[in-house]
Chain A
């Protein structure tokens, strides 16, 4: 099996994630979609890593997971804070920071 298949899957997952970020309004779902995009990247990294036979890509993938975990912690924290303050859970309505 060539690396191309993995890359196709990775690209598909990435596109699904990106589409989700663009079209959904719930911050929770947007976070999920972001995770999809990150893991699509991870998949591509690991595929390349296998192809070249070195461990570099895997290490990168692990670092991306750590970053993703941090990001989820912050993101979920924000969502909980929004909920507690009874603000709308909708990214389109949370636009007080416009220019």
Chain B
């Protein structure tokens, strides 16, 4: 079969799973059938993606771009909106990552939300999420891209506020949706600038072909369009300043966090920039914006992660930080390096979230690091997985993150000039990453055992709280629909969780071996057909000298080990250091703990004035002006009609008399006229 056929199958299966679960799911026999069907749909979708990959590799490297059109939405003057998919190495790469990791997350979810009343709904949403993301990465022109982009936002809204009776969750869902819509607007306007001011075609390949001719380098329209595309990318990929939704998205169930962070959503921005690379090559000013924002995000997020106490939020900020690396890489033309990091990150981040879900299960829904401790012996498998993910995230030598992060930083350094600043900040971020990752690991797994850990180790029972509660606000809840179900699960006791986490752990440990400096170069070779026409790309790839690469590898290893060692000293050996440091550098701590006050800033600048204007509009403008206009019109008409109504007195004979009189007058008039 041709690659496009495989791709259509890959796209259709999640949609079929979603529709089946949505309409038939609740009538199925068996408790977890809907979950298995959802998992199967995504698993088969992954198989189809592998099929597309194999079919693609059967063609020569110069001939690996295929398009297929299902139907035309509209084809008229200047608009050729079609449902086209574009299958080339880049989109197949994304399909493999998205469907593969999602399949494991589905498998994990079959246990995690098992006892939840919204089980079937959950899987319908989850399948829809994967479908949207696949549509996004397969899109062959701007229309399916925008559709997929918006669908992903909608799916994230539905899943973040999946527990819809939890106020914090619904608020987080609204926040994510609003910020994503800002990104959607950016994407649509950017499309307008690029397509209707320049290339004149919605099709990607046409656009890329004509972009050089249509725009002079750094043309203002093109730069504006690319920056608007970046707004879309920043909103989806949670880059500063549109990142505030991501930590709040932790309100969703833990596997959803894994899905959003590892496979489906936040990577969309990275993909978008890589996909639009011919545009960014021509608009270097816009690409530089992306590079700087990515770098700023990776540092800011890493500093915030240092002081958060919610285990999921720490991981969320680490995602933000790692996506910052990727955005920085793809904006600086190091496409393959950014996408390589996307690949390894998908493994270890999904793994970290799943392991965190296992700990949260063992804690009976509690997420605060302050209350955890000593889970090392109670949760040996989870500990091993968390450690594998943590080491990969901290770029510990030979783990996957080590090679991918170093690839990015070596290429950035190789570009020279002001990129050296980014290089240094990148390594600073790497140091902070090791520090906060192992802060989290040491606090959750080492130290004195908390009572939940002891109970689990001694009796094998998972702690259950008397009343379920919201881990954010500690409000009491029940376990009915709209709130989390009563079940809590740990990987040690559930094979699907174990399988999912084990597979990801293998990926997190060995995933980096596909591109090791001086040994192999698989990602670069595979993705080369996509970027082969870019002169900058070749220059960037060959930029760093061997010495710089080796120096980077050594520096990276030293930084990772140093960060871990420092974390060990601070949070295991001498916990008093952390307290003393916090007291000594109070402002720094506050800055980190309050997330650089981004939320407070947006609250003061946008939310409160918006709410005030809204209240004024509803209380004053609506009541006085709108109601005044409407009621005024009504009373004028009513007064006028009451005068005329007097003539209608109901006496039939009067009407007849008036009629006759009128007739007589008309007749008289004509008679007088005729003489």
Query: Which residues B637-675 have CB closer than 8 A to chain A?
Result: 644-653, 656-657, 660
Determine whether A96 belongs to the interface, using a CB cutoff of 8 Å to chain B: yes
- Check A95 against B649 for contact (C-beta < 8 Å): yes
Q: Out of A22, A97, A99, which one reaches B657, CB within 8 Å?
A: A22
A18 within 8 A of B: yes
What's the Cα separation between A22 and B647 when bound, in Å? 17
A91 at the interface (CB under 8 A from B): yes
How distant is the Cα of A55 from the Cα of B332 in the complex, in angstroms?
97
Name A99's contact: one of B646, B653, B656, B660 (CB within 8 Å): B646
The reply to whether A95 and B660 contact each other, CB–CB distance below 8 Å, is no
A91 x B660 contact (CB < 8 A): no
A95 to B645 CA separation, bound complex (whole angstroms): 14
B649 interface neighbour in A21, A30, A99, Cβ under 8 Å: A99
**Residues in B432-479 with C-beta less than 8 Å from chain A:** none
Query: In the complex, how many residues of chain A place their beta carbon closer than 8 angstroms to a beta carbon of chain B?
Result: 14
Cα of A21 to Cα of B644 in the assembled complex, Å: 25
- 8 Å CB contact of B653 from A92, A96, A97, A98: A92
> Residues of A contacting B651 with CB < 8 Å?
91-92, 95, 98
Q: Which residues of B contact A99 (CB under 8 A)?
A: 644-650
B653 touches A21 (CB 8 A): yes
Cα distance A30–B656 in the bound complex, in angstroms: 11
Contact of B648 among A21, A22, A91, A98 (CB under 8 A): A98
A99 to B652, CA, bound (A): 13
8 A Cβ contacts from A73-99 to B? 91-92, 94-99
Complexed CA–CA distance, A97 and B654 (Å): 14
Q: Is the CB of A91 within 8 A of B652?
A: yes
What's the minimum C-beta distance from A11 to chain B, rounded to whole angstroms?
Answer: 11
A25 CA to B294 CA in the complex, in Å?
94
By a CB distance below 8 angstroms, the chain B residues around A25 are 653
Chain A interface helix/strand/loop/mixed: loop
Minimum Cβ distance to chain B for residue A38 (Å): 14
In the complex, what's the smallest C-beta–C-beta distance from B657 to chain A, in angstroms?
Answer: 5
Within 8 A of B (CB), among A42-99: 91-92, 94-99
Which residues 12-32 in A have Cβ within 8 Å of B in the complex?
Answer: 18, 21-23, 25, 30
Determine how close the nearest CB of chain A comes to the CB of B659; give it in whole angstroms.
10
Residues of A within 8 A of B645 (CB): 99
Q: Are A18 and B649 in contact (CB under 8 A)?
A: no
Nearest-Cβ distance from residue B667 to partner chain A, whole angstroms: 11
Minimum Cβ distance to chain B for residue A95 (Å): 3
Give CA–CA (A95, B648) in the complex, Å: 10
A32 → B minimal CB distance (Å): 14
Which of A23, A25, A98 has the most C-beta atoms of chain B within 10 angstroms of its own C-beta?
A: A98
The minimal Cβ–Cβ distance linking A4 to chain B, given in whole angstroms, is: 16
Contact B653 A91 (CB under 8 A): yes
**Measured between alpha carbons, how far is A91 from B647 in the docked complex, in Å?**
17
Residues of A within 8 A of B656 (CB): 21-22
Chain A residue nearest in CB terms to B664: A18
In the complex, A94 Cα to B645 Cα: how many Å? 18
> Contact between A95 and B657 (Cβ–Cβ < 8 Å)?
no
Chain B proximity of A28: nearest CB distance (Å) = 14
- Smallest beta-carbon distance A3→chain B, Å: 18
CA distance A46 to B307 in the complex (A): 108
Q: What is the CB-to-nearest-CB distance from A56 to chain B, in angstroms, rounded to a whole number? A: 22
A87 to B: closest C-beta gap in Å: 14
Could you say which residues of chain A place their CB within 8 Å of the CB of B652?
A: 30, 91-92, 94-95
Contacting residues of chain B (521-536) with chain A, CB-CB under 8 angstroms: none
- Shortest CB-to-CB span from A90 to chain B, Å, is 10
In chain A, what residue has the closest Cβ to B656? A21
| Bound Cα distance A22, B651 (Å) | 11
Q: Is the CB of A98 within 8 A of B657?
A: no
Give the CA-CA distance A25 to B660 in the complex, in Å: 17
Find chain A residues with CB under 8 A from B650 CB. Answer: 95-99
Chain B residue nearest to A18 in the complex (CB): B660
Q: Name the residue of chain A whose CB is nearest to the CB of B649.
A: A98
Bound-state Cα–Cα, A86 to B262, Å = 85
Choice from B644, B646, B649, B660 contacting A22 with Cβ under 8 Å:
B660
7 new A-B contacts at CB < 8 Å, known A98-B648, A99-B649: A21-B653, A21-B656, A22-B657, A92-B652, A98-B649, A99-B645, A99-B646
The 10 closest A-B pairs by CB, nearest first: A95-B650, A98-B650, A99-B648, A99-B645, A91-B652, A98-B649, A21-B656, A22-B657, A97-B650, A18-B660
Q: What would 24 A/B residue contacts be, using CB atoms closer than 8 Å? A: A18-B660, A21-B653, A22-B656, A22-B657, A22-B660, A25-B653, A30-B652, A91-B651, A91-B652, A92-B652, A95-B649, A95-B650, A95-B651, A96-B650, A97-B650, A98-B648, A98-B649, A98-B650, A98-B651, A99-B645, A99-B646, A99-B647, A99-B648, A99-B650
